[in-house]
């Protein structure tokens, strides 16, 4: 790596909602830079709250998850600017990583599949099944674990549009033999430079333990799903949890690829 700083823009899609996602993204970026002795210049853009969009001068772009519907905002100013930015990034081949809500909007915008509500909210540490070989999966098992928190999903892939973009479906949600429903798309390689995922690879194990033990979070899960669900989530968050490897590999692998290609 060169001695000049790596400029990274993070698009904050949380619209002011309390979250640990932005903190975890920030931590991953700086841990990655420190490990490699690389100076990082990091700027954050309040995209949903203030319609802030970064310019083209950054080496890398990461767009966060966030609350709410990825469908209802299509005509709002920030969403129009955001999808124009997606087109621009795709056209000029900038490294872009899209997380959850950002991924849903990109799938809607590029018409790569049906974006719709799930029958019930998905939350917890769950298996993700990779379908292709890719640098972003380096150091991970074919089936790895990741934090999910979503009410929406991407199903019914639009093969024609996917082929036109030369995109690839990278991963699907957990296998559910007893459930007669299509498995949702969990990751797409939009191009050699642009990736998106339906899960939260930035989720840190220690942060998750704190989050799921918070009174409000625990009560929400107990009221909606029951005690068994909360206990199952906590059982996936002990010190041996494989989610640690997703945190230490997935986004760092993207950052490595972004500066090497």
Residue by residue, what is the 3-state secondary structure of the chain?
Answer: CCCCCEEEEEEECCCCCCCCHHHHHHHHHHHHHHHCCCCEEEEEEEHHHHCCCCCCCCCEEEECCCCCCCCCCCCCHHHHHHHHHHHHHHHCCCCEEEECHHHHHHHHHHCCCEEEEEEEEEEEEEEEEECCCCHHHCCCCCEEEEEEEEEEEEECCCHHHHHHHCCEEEEEECCCCCCCCCCCEEEEECCCCEEEECCECCCCHHHHHHHHHCHHHHHHHHHHCCHHHHHHHHHCCCCCCCHHHHHHHHHHHHHHHHHHC
Rounded Cα gap, residues 231 and 225, in angstroms? 11
- Partners of residue 11 on adjacent β-strands: 45, 63
- Partners of residue 189 on adjacent β-strands: 168, 195
pLDDT one-digit tens code per residue, 6-39:
999 999 999 999 899 999 999 999 999 999 999 9
Rounded Cα gap, residues 96 and 61, in angstroms? 5
pLDDT one-digit tens code per residue, 49-107:
999 999 999 999 999 999 999 999 999 999 999 999 999 999 999 999 999 999 999 99
Does position 2 have pLDDT exceeding 70, yes or no?
A: no
Average the pLDDT over each of 63-67, 175-179, 206-210 and give the range with the smallest value.
Answer: 175-179
The residue-averaged pLDDT of 125-131 equals 94
Identify the CA nearest to 58 among candidates 5, 98, 18.
5
Rounded Cα gap, residues 71 and 137, in angstroms? 29
Does position 155 have pLDDT exceeding 70, yes or no?
A: yes
**pTM score, whole prediction:** 0.95
The answer to whether the beta carbons of residues 126 and 146 sit under 8 Å apart is yes
Confidence at residue 239, expressed as pLDDT on a 0 to 100 scale:
82
Confidence at residue 129, expressed as pLDDT on a 0 to 100 scale:
96
Confidence at residue 120, expressed as pLDDT on a 0 to 100 scale:
86
Higher pLDDT, 4 or 43: 43
Q: Which domains does the chain have, with CATH numbers?
A: 6-118+152-204+245-260 (3.40.50.880)
Confidence at residue 246, expressed as pLDDT on a 0 to 100 scale:
97
Mean pLDDT taken over the chain? 94
Would strands 194-197 and 168-173 be described as parallel, antiparallel, or unpaired? unpaired
Does position 1 have pLDDT exceeding 70, yes or no?
A: no
The answer to whether the beta carbons of residues 57 and 7 sit under 8 Å apart is yes
Position 223 confidence tier, pLDDT thresholds 50, 70, 90: very high
The answer to whether the beta carbons of residues 80 and 44 sit under 8 Å apart is no
Confidence at residue 27, expressed as pLDDT on a 0 to 100 scale:
97
Confidence at residue 176, expressed as pLDDT on a 0 to 100 scale:
72
- CA dihedral over 28, 34, 36, 40, signed as positive or negative: positive
- Partners of residue 97 on adjacent β-strands: 62, 195
Confidence at residue 170, expressed as pLDDT on a 0 to 100 scale:
98
Confidence at residue 119, expressed as pLDDT on a 0 to 100 scale:
87
């Amino acid at each position: 790596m060169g001695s000049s700083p790596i400029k990274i823009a993070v698009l904050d899609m949380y619209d002011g909602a309390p979250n640990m996602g932005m903190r975890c993204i920030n931590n991953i970026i700086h841990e990655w830079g420190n490990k490699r002795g690389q100076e990082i210049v990091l700027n954050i853009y309040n995209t949903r709250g203030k319609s802030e969009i970064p310019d083209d001068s950054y080496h890398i772009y990461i767009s966060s998850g966030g609350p709410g519907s990825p469908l209802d905002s299509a005509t709002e100013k920030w969403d129009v600017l955001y999808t124009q930015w997606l087109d621009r990034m795709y056209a000029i081949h900038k490294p872009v990583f899209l997380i959850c809500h950002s991924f849903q909007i990109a799938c809607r915008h590029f018409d790569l599949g049906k974006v719709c509500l799930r029958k019930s909210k998905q939350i917890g540490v769950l298996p993700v099944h990779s379908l292709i070989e890719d640098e972003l999966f380096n150091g991970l098992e074919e089936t790895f674990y990741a934090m999910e928190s979503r009410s929406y999903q991407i199903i019914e892939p639009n093969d024609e549009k996917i082929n036109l973009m030369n995109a690839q479906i990278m991963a699907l949600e957990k296998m559910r033999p007893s459930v007669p429903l299509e498995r949702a798309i969990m990751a797409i390689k939009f191009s050699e430079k642009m990736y998106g995922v339906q899960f939260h690879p930035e989720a840190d194990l220690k942060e998750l333990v704190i989050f799921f033990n918070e009174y409000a979070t625990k009560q929400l899960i107990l009221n909606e799903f029951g005690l068994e669900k909360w206990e199952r989530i906590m059982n996936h968050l002990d010190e041996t949890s494989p989610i640690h490897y997703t945190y230490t590999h997935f986004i760092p692998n993207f950052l490595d690829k972004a500066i090497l290609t």
